[in-house]
Amino acid sequence: MKAGTHYTGNGQCTFTVWAPKAEKATLHIIAPKKRAVKMKKGEEGYFLAELDDVSPGTKYFYQIDNDTNLPDPASHFQPDGVHGPSQVVDHTYKWQDADWKGVEWHDIILYELHIGTFTKEGTFEAAIAQLDDLAELGINTLEIMPVSQFPGNRNWGYDGVHPYAVQNTYGTPDDFKKFVDACHARGIAVILDVVYNHMGPEGNYFGKFGPYFNNKYSTPWGDAINFDADYADGVRDFFAENALFWLEKYHLDGLRLDAIHMVFDMSAIHFWEYVNEKVKKFSVQSGRRTYMIAESDMNSPKVIKSPEVGGYGFDLQWLDDFHHALYVLLDPKGQQYFADFGKREQLEKAIKDGFVHSGEFVEFRHRRYGRSSAGVSGDKFIAFIQNHDQIGNRMLGERLSILISFDALKLAAALVLLSPYIPMLFMGEEYGEDNPFLYFVSHSDKDLIKAVQEGRKEDFAKFQFEGEAPDPQSENTYTKSKLQWQKRKKGHYRVLLDWHKELIGLRRNYDALHNYNKDCIQVRITDGGILEIERWNEHSRVVCLYNISEKVATYKAHKELPQKLLDSTEGKWQEKESTAKKTAKALPDKIKADAVIDLPPWCTVLYKIV
């Protein structure tokens, strides 16, 4: 890797910084003993200093020309925060995962989490204690929200300004490695969310080193990162090598790339093609499975197509349309967020094809939008009903457990976990956590704090009837967002947890439920309004019926359904412990062809045919 420090042991360390327009660069070591080292300018704008008397933990700054001391843009650790000195890291670590090869693509059950709010302590070390619970549930892949160094001690992670450095309040580099090692020991893969479309505002010193940004394109965060203008080679390598850095040094199993549509590049080889090709080569050389996941607002199959046919080469992409189509049916008030959704046919299309908006006129965008994904294999998409954006970008950060009934929660879980896509849960969703997940920051710049506070209020001006937007700078906002793990073993929380475990087990045990071939799925809305999904492969065939309404709906079977596998109306799946469980009337164990049955509101029932 070109930029950053490279400690090779026995005091040997190379310091490299990219500053292509600078005349000179100086390495200022400030601890354990102060000294200044003139750096040698090499090729492509890189300055180097090779020392043989450096120990891990050495703190340093760079000085570019005659500017002030600046932390390393490629720092591997910032023990004193984004404005403090960078620290030399020895990446030697006694890994215990030599036999780890990753999780099979078709078997992935994703779980998104934020390290700071996942536990009371908010550290890598504390998170390890919860891994057994996740493994028991059936989770085998974690998607970690960004852990790159951000300002202060609380942030979603998308304000990071040191892409190579682990957030100091979460733990040390070795703590993160220990966490990944612990995951692998339990059969759990780890995917990290990284941000290559912008840098955060506080502690952002990139412009003092070189042309990391250009003003050819506008983004919500200011000038775009420079992937295609003058001097772009150094920027492209900085971020492409960052992807390899996490995979190599921290044994991560993949990356989730934030908002890829906000990376602007008119180069012959697009940056996303460039980085995905490097990752694929690494995967082959290391013998480990790696996954590159895109968050995209384009509704385009181009994202997951190979570069040979004009694509970006990602392995998977988030399927927001699945969320929108399902959520508005579960909570009609959701139309104030997603005005173009609310029809059952849209959910039918989301399940069968993927993208709901595939070239039609979309009112929200005031234009035609998207392209068809019909025929694209389901394992190219990640489906969910909750994630950090969909919860945290609500004014009050309400989870689905606050917005809809218990029975509707069960139905939503079934639609996600029995979908023909890679399913993803958001932390706490599995037991119906009712603490909010709010937007929080901890900046030190008073003007920036005020701008964030006022911006948040403006964002939710039309929702003033719901109350006042929580202050993102307040520590209480952060504390309220933490999971309450003790809930998951009690009452209706435990029922919902067991329901999720049951669904994951069914998905694993029946081949038809993890068959991603869209030619082997039939989706229809019956005359009675029931969503009927039939799926099959050569070994099994199942039918799942969903009553997505508050009213009893009639279902007429068009074929025999001989064996019931799951029924949300059974007593054991009821919210209340008392009479509801005792008096719950389960649906028939089998249904004859042409038989007519009534499905209660928000009911889910799964039948095996073969």
Q: Do domains 4-87 and 511-608 have the same CATH topology?
A: yes
Tokens at 500, concatenated: 């999720």
Give me the torsion for CA of 79, 85, 90, 95, rounded to 10°.
30
Q: Is 390 helix (H, G, I), strand (E, B) or coil?
A: helix
Tokens at 222, concatenated: 């200011």
Report whether CATH 2.60.40.1180 matches the domain 511-608: yes
107-203+237-496 has which fold? TIM Barrel (3.20.20)
Closest CA to 544 of 555, 508, 552, 430: 555
CA distance 417 to 278: 32
For residue range 92-131, list pLDDT tens digits in order: 999 999 999 999 988 999 999 999 999 999 999 999 999 9
DSSP at 591: B
Are the C-beta atoms of residues 477 and 468 closer than 8 Å to each other? no
For the chain, give the percent of residues with pLDDT over 90. 94
Catalytic residue among 72, 202, 228, 295: 295
Give one word for 471, left, alpha or beta, with left for phi > 0 and alpha for psi -120 to 50. Answer: beta
| 467 pLDDT above the threshold of 90 | no
- In 416-513 the beta strands, taken as DSSP E runs, fall at 422-426
Q: Is 0.95 topped by the overall pTM? A: yes
CA distance 355 to 373: 6
* pLDDT the model gives residue 359: 97
Strand partners, 597: 555
Average pLDDT value for residue range 421-450 = 97
* pLDDT the model gives residue 581: 56
Angle, CA 332 vertex, CA 327 and CA 334 arms, to 5°:
60
Sequence spans of domains, the chain? 4-87, 107-203+237-496, 511-608
Q: Which of 89 and 66 is assigned the larger pLDDT?
A: 89
Average pLDDT value for residue range 137-147 = 98
* pLDDT the model gives residue 360: 95
For residue range 201-258, list pLDDT tens digits in order: 999 999 999 999 999 998 999 999 999 999 999 999 999 999 999 999 999 999 999 9
| 582 pLDDT above the threshold of 80 | no
* CATH superfamily of the domain spanning 4-87: Immunoglobulins (2.60.40.10)
Are the C-beta atoms of residues 225 and 194 closer than 8 Å to each other? no
CA distance 142 to 164: 20
Catalytic residue among 143, 202, 258, 348: 258
* DSSP run (H or E) holding 233: helix 232-249
| 281 pLDDT above the threshold of 90 | yes
Assess whether 258 carries a catalytic annotation. Answer: yes
* pLDDT the model gives residue 253: 98
